[in-house]
Amino acid sequence: MSRHPLLLMRSSPALGTGSYGTVPMVNSGSASEPSSEDEDEVRSQRRSYKSRGKRVQSAHNLRGDHGQSSDPRRRYRSTEWLRRRSSSAASDIGMGLDSKTSFAVNPAIAEHKAESSNASTRTGSGDEIEDEYIPTEDDPPDNSPYPEVRASVPATDNTSLSINTPRMWTLSLLFAIAGSATNLFFSLRYPSVAITPVIALVLVHPLGKLWDLAFKRRGDSERMFVEGTRQPDEHQHLHTRTEKLRLWLAQGRWNEKEHACVYISSNVSFGFAFATDIIVEQHKFYKQTVPILYQLLLTISTQILGYAFAGLTRRYLVRPAAMIWPGTLMSTAMFTTMHKDENKAANGWTISRYRFFIYVWAAAFAWYFVPGLLAPALSYFNVVTWFAPKNVVISNLFGVASGLGLFPVTFDWAQIAYIGSPLLTPWWAAANVVGGLVLVMWIIAPILYYKNVLFSGYLPILSSAVFDNTGKPYDVSKILTPEFLFNKEAYDNYSKVYLPITYVLSYGVQFAALAALISHTTCWHGRDIWRQSKQAFNERQEKPAVGYETVPTSDDNYSRRRIDSLTVVASGEDVHNRLMRRYEDVPMWWYAGTFVTMLAVGIFVVEYYPVHLPWYGLLTALGITTVLFIPVGIVMAITNQHSSLYLICQLICGVMFPGRPVANMVFVTYCYISSAQGIKFSSDLKLGHYMKIPPKLLFKVQMVATLVSSLVQIGVLNWMFVNIPGICTPEAINGFNCPIARVHFNGSILWGVVGPQRFFGPGALYRHLVWAFLLGFIAPILIWVMGRGQKKTVWRKVNLPVLFGSLSWIPPATGLNFSVWAVVCFAFNHLVKRRASAWWGKYTMTMSAALDSGLAFSLVVVFFGFVYPGWMDNFRWWGTEIYKQGCDWRACPWLSLQPGEKFDQ
């Protein structure tokens, strides 16, 4: 297969503001054109040193399993030779990955030097190459350029593993059904509990082993698998029916690829569908009739539209090496821990990853009983307020329930990882997050609050509630008619809606983050996106430069063989992209067909059923997702921070369709959930990419799990409507009062009935917040101008979409959740990573997996074993009460009112 010549290799600005890493510039001419001068040069160099390279290679002990050299010096020399060789083909001096981020980037793409016009100078002398390393045809290429990926993802692929087996499908469907049903059931209850996919990841492993134990026999012959699917057996007719069934059930052996497929099916199905909240609100609060067909079509279309967005953008969000998706690395580390026996010493530590995982998991499981059950004061560790519990200022500043959390100490991993595991987030990204926290929440918020700007002094400094002009939570029922329509006269007689100062600033930074996404992505990624789009178009017009390579069926150890080092320079791909070329990709029309089908279903839903949203409103919602999906995905892929579209969707619908609360909910679902689901699907596509899951099989796994979970959740929801007395009312038995649905209902009233114009329109109290859009759009451009010409300036590490967007967690998150999260991230992903890099690479991701899964299991045991039965109702002592005694827990305002007094008069 002929290749296009390499014209240019460029490292674009990387993760500090995001990048695609090294991307090849390929010729758009015919595939039959002659090779470029650079490629000819590489080939001649390889011929020149071929014999000497083989002599050097014979002196080293190569491992047959992975095709990697056991001599670290040889690996370094290969990398160093590639670095020197690749430097001759580079332009854009100073645009390397290491100039943008604290990631330690592989030397093969970390430096670029100006190309000399003299060919001999450009190539270098033979003596220079001989001193460093002489390449050979068998030389393994470099691993991923990112240490986080190298620490978690093996740079190998075993294509002989079974994947598409009855075992994988049975376990996938079992967990999809159980997890989606359980989480939907408890989403309507307070207090609630959620079963996370990491629980499935841990639980399914012994079940997979048990399956093998039940069906495998010692004398079973090994069968061949191609792309994870068993090939026909010519001796099958010799077996009895029972034996055929057993052999069909016993296909392959439980392995990391099947494990990954079960986890991915759990990941896409465990979260309760947002559409079920709309159904609850329509049925229980708005008293509308909701036919089963409407429920199914609404749920399925909103869940699957996101998959179309993920598939159609995988060229930008999944394939580039720089889109590392840190959140997936915890899962890959767990698969490696559970299925591999490798154990190399790391900074003197010789304990295996699996044993390390068991110890940390057990400690995390056992410890949560202390802050989660016996002494909650260790979780809400507002120790500074204990000495002056009635002091409002101290509670405002150092509180952890309604304060700013200036004392970042807690002993509860649930608090530390509330906004995501700090061990999975790069330190430069966490620095942006904590920078935004300090600037906005720790400096600006107290200044505005104690100056009583926007009447904020009469409200708590931090709360997720909205208030009336007496400082009490806003009673939405007072401004609605019995038909749940807006009563303007009642609104004028009651009160405007007032927001705590941190809530106001949260809206402001979300506005700024949305605008910053657009300008930031255009400045730092526009060239890459344009180049990728042109390359995709060219590949459809001509023979592609890199095509599908059929997986061989011969037993030639191909499954563990990798491509030679020079391909790294010639293709600009990382090892995982090259390994995935062995598998047939999903045709684009599969995703396009999915999008068109679900769009048609969505139009039918909004036009046929009384949701008061016209078809062009649906197109507007999906248009917003289309424009912002890639920017949101890039930020998530490189920083592990999600930029939510929830608020902007509510605002746009409130402006376009005022007085239509149900339309607002449906608009938000198609706009926000399509984006959120798409980001989740993209993350899983990257996980499948790392685990080398055949793309077509992964498509089927995700689609089936999503469809099954949607059907299950609708069934469970309707069963609950019939069988739980008083559901979604204060009188509901056992706490099934639908707390999440009620919060969304209140939001639909505020934004769909009261409307954004009464918050941000002319003369409105919060009118000035709209200037945040302009600030957010301009600021990234200024930073780009200041940072683009300087390789090591701090401006290249400032990422405003992350800085602004992360603060959308506040409220309900508090300053404690952010500050202690950042401290842990700094400790491990900066200090430990620099001072004990081997330990960090071997254990950090495994530690994150163990802490998260141990906490998840312990939380379920605590809830169902102690809280749910009511055994702890009368358990009281100092450790359960001290943190509740002051103004922090009661959310005291700084300024008080007399009974009957209103602060806006």
**Domain-by-domain residue ranges, the chain?**
1-142
Contact (CB, 8 A) for 377 and 793: no
327 pLDDT higher than 90: no
Tokens of 115: 């190309």
- pLDDT for 135 equals 35
3-state secondary structure 879-899: HHHHHHCCHHHHCCCCCCCCC
∠ at Cα 301 (298, 306), nearest 5°? 135
What 572-575 contacts at long range (C-beta under 8 Å, 24+ apart), as own/partner pairs, is 572/6, 572/9, 572/22, 572/23, 572/24, 573/24, 573/321, 573/546, 574/21, 574/143, 574/144, 574/145, 574/321, 575/141, 575/142, 575/143, 575/144, 575/155
- pLDDT for 638 equals 84
The β-bridge relationship of strands 6-11 and 225-226 is unpaired
What is the pLDDT averaged over residues 830-835?
92
Confidence of residue 353 (pLDDT cuts 50, 70, 90): confident
611 pLDDT higher than 80: yes
- End-to-end CA, the chain: 79
The β-bridge relationship of strands 22-26 and 6-11 is antiparallel
- pLDDT for 357 equals 87
Confidence of residue 742 (pLDDT cuts 50, 70, 90): confident
Closest CA to 820 of 402, 434, 373: 434
d(CA 247, CA 215): 8
Tokens of 672: 């926000």
Model confidence pLDDT, tens digit, residues 473-503: 888 888 877 776 778 889 889 998 898 999 8
Could you tell me which residue, 230 or 699, shows the higher pLDDT?
Answer: 699
Tokens of 77: 């020399």
Contact (CB, 8 A) for 47 and 137: no
Which region among 293-302, 588-597, 677-686, 871-880 has the lowest average model confidence (pLDDT)? 871-880
Contact (CB, 8 A) for 433 and 802: yes
In 419-569, DSSP assigns E strands to none
d(CA 703, CA 420): 26
d(CA 365, CA 353): 18
Confidence of residue 542 (pLDDT cuts 50, 70, 90): low
- pLDDT for 616 equals 94
d(CA 228, CA 225): 5
Question: Which stretches of 405-500 are DSSP H helices?
Answer: 413-416, 427-436, 445-450, 488-494
Which region among 209-218, 603-612, 752-761 has the lowest average model confidence (pLDDT)? 752-761
Q: Which helix (H) or strand (E) holds 230?
A: strand 229-230
d(CA 581, CA 569): 17
Confidence of residue 660 (pLDDT cuts 50, 70, 90): confident
**Exposure class string for 435-463: b at 16+ Cβ within 10 A, else e:** bbbeebbbeebbebbbeeebbbbbbbbbb
Model confidence pLDDT, tens digit, residues 678-687: 999 999 999 9
Model confidence pLDDT, tens digit, residues 176-223: 999 899 889 888 876 566 778 888 888 899 899 999 999 888 877 777
Distance of CA 379 to the CA centre of its chain: 26
Could you tell me which residue, 640 or 601, shows the higher pLDDT?
Answer: 601
Contact (CB, 8 A) for 211 and 259: no
d(CA 660, CA 755): 9
Model confidence pLDDT, tens digit, residues 144-178: 888 888 888 888 888 889 999 999 999 999 999 99
d(CA 14, CA 788): 11
Model confidence pLDDT, tens digit, residues 436-445: 999 999 999 9
Closest CA to 615 of 633, 624, 626, 603: 603
Sign, Cα dihedral of 387, 391, 393, 396 = positive
Tokens of 132: 């460093």
Confidence of residue 538 (pLDDT cuts 50, 70, 90): low
Q: What mean pLDDT value characterizes the chain?
A: 78
Distance of CA 116 to the CA centre of its chain: 43
Is this prediction's pTM over 0.75?
Answer: no
Contact (CB, 8 A) for 259 and 208: yes
Which region among 13-17, 173-177, 627-631, 636-640 has the lowest average model confidence (pLDDT)? 13-17
**Exposure class string for 496-511: b at 16+ Cβ within 10 A, else e:** bbbbbbbbbbbbbbbb
Distance of CA 779 to the CA centre of its chain: 25
What one-character-per-residue DSSP string does 2-29 give? --PPEEEEEE---TTT----EEEEE--S
d(CA 883, CA 402): 12
Query: Does the N-terminal peptide bond of residue 197 adopt cis geometry, omega within 30 degrees of 0?
Result: no
∠ at Cα 480 (478, 485), nearest 5°? 170
581 pLDDT higher than 80: yes
**Residue tagged 């392995």 (tokens):** 255
Confidence of residue 586 (pLDDT cuts 50, 70, 90): very high
449 pLDDT higher than 70: yes
What one-character-per-residue DSSP string does 392-427 give? HHHHHHH-SSSS---S---S-HHHHTTTS-GGGS-H
At residue 107, the 3 state secondary structure works out as helix
What one-character-per-residue DSSP string does 772-828 give? HHHHHHHHHHHHHHHHTT-SS-GGGG--HHHHHHGGGGTTTS-HHHHHHHHHHHHII
Give the rounded percent of residues in the chain with a pLDDT score beyond 90: 29
Confidence of residue 418 (pLDDT cuts 50, 70, 90): confident
- The DSSP output letter for 440 is I
Question: Which stretches of 324-408 are DSSP H helices?
Answer: 326-339, 353-367, 369, 383-386, 392-398
Could you tell me which residue, 136 or 876, shows the higher pLDDT?
Answer: 876
Model confidence pLDDT, tens digit, residues 122-133: 333 333 333 333
